[in-house]
């Protein structure tokens, strides 16, 4: 599969605007104050998008890179935009760095009924320990993708990439080896050159970027295979 290397502008909303730090509580919806674009028509081929979330202290702590979990509200917004015109052969799954956890949602049709199930995973899991290790969730993502060989797979990782894996280089190598497209949504900072390979799409998040760009980054991956899709440029 051909992968592309794109740098998508992204945003992390200031901490006081949205969401909740309390595990198990869903983030608040930011409301219709930004536009994502048009989701187009259902993909002509089966697709699978796996969203992986880092809920470690460096992300959700008081001084973390997403202190009030607004990334979950924006992810929900992107899922909703596509689910309104989704189909049963377009699947989405949710995995957390804390794996296994109650926050995992297996492959689910990206439709309005499926969205109800997906929303259950859009919060820090109540039984999560806040690990900073990418490896376990990445292995789970590989398992899910390999169980759906007929689907065009995309992996989207929401993390600051301050990894505590015993061998971070090995974890990043496994990220590159994912059998599909890879999109890193980097929360709060820019990674040094060369940390992620040239095939990985990178969206760098900053606290001073405009609202909605986290949602727009995910929306771009969700509509990759959807004819007629359009992505609204960030203001």
Joined together, the tokens standing for residue 209 give: 């970027």
Higher pLDDT, 1 or 63: 63
CATH number of 7-20+29-187+200-231: 3.40.50.410
Give the span between the Cα atoms of 146 and 178, in whole angstroms: 10
Residue 145 pLDDT class (50, 70, 90 cuts) = very high
DSSP E strands: which ranges in the chain? 7-9, 37-38, 47-53, 90-96, 105-109, 152-159, 181-186, 201-204, 230-231
Mean pLDDT of 18-25: 42
% of the chain exceeding 90 in pLDDT: 67
Q: How, if at all, do strands 152-159 and 90-96 pair?
A: unpaired
As a whole number of Å, the CA-based R_g of the chain is 16
Say which residue the tokens 């699947």 belong to: 91
pLDDT in tens, 71-105: 899 999 999 999 999 999 999 999 999 999 999 99
pLDDT of residue 82: 97
pLDDT in tens, 108-142: 999 999 999 999 999 999 999 999 999 999 999 99
32 has pLDDT over 70: no
235 has pLDDT over 80: no
pLDDT of residue 21: 39
pLDDT of residue 204: 87
| Cα–Cα distance list, 211 to 76, 77, 125, 183, 224 (Å) | 14, 12, 25, 20, 22
Mean pLDDT of 49-64: 84
Joined together, the tokens standing for residue 109 give: 């049709």
pLDDT of residue 62: 62
Indicate the pTM of the whole model: 0.84
Give the span between the Cα atoms of 187 and 35, in whole angstroms: 21
Q: How, if at all, do strands 37-38 and 230-231 pair?
A: antiparallel
pLDDT of residue 171: 95
Joined together, the tokens standing for residue 5 give: 């290397």
Angle at 160 between CA 37 and CA 170, to 5 degrees: 115
């Amino acid at each position: 599969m051909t992968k592309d290397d794109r740098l998508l502008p992204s945003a992390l909303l200031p901490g006081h605007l949205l969401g909740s730090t309390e595990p198990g509580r869903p983030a608040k919806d930011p409301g219709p104050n930004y536009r994502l674009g048009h989701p187009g028509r259902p993909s002509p081929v089966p697709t699978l998008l796996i969203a992986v979330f880092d809920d470690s202290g460096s992300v959700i702590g008081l001084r973390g890179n997403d202190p009030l979990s607004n990334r979950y509200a924006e992810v929900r917004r992107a899922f909703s935009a596509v689910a309104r015109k989704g189909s049963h052969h377009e699947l989405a799954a949710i995995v957390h760095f804390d794996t296994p956890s109650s926050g995992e949602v297996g492959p689910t049709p990206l439709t309005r009924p499926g969205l109800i199930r997906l929303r259950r995973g859009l919060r820090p899991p109540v039984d999560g320990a806040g690990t900073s290790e990418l490896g376990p969730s990445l292995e789970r993502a590989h398992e899910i993708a390999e169980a759906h060989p007929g689907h065009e797979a995309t992996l989207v990782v929401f993390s600051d990439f301050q990894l505590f894996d015993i061998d971070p280089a090995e974890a990043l190598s496994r990220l590159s080896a994912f059998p599909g497209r890879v999109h890193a949504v980097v929360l709060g900072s820019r990674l040094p050159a060369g940390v992620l390979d040239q095939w990985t799409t990178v969206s760098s998040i900053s606290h001073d970027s405009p609202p909605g760009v986290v949602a727009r980054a995910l929306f771009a991956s969700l509509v990759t295979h959807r004819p007629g899709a359009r992505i609204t440029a960030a203001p």
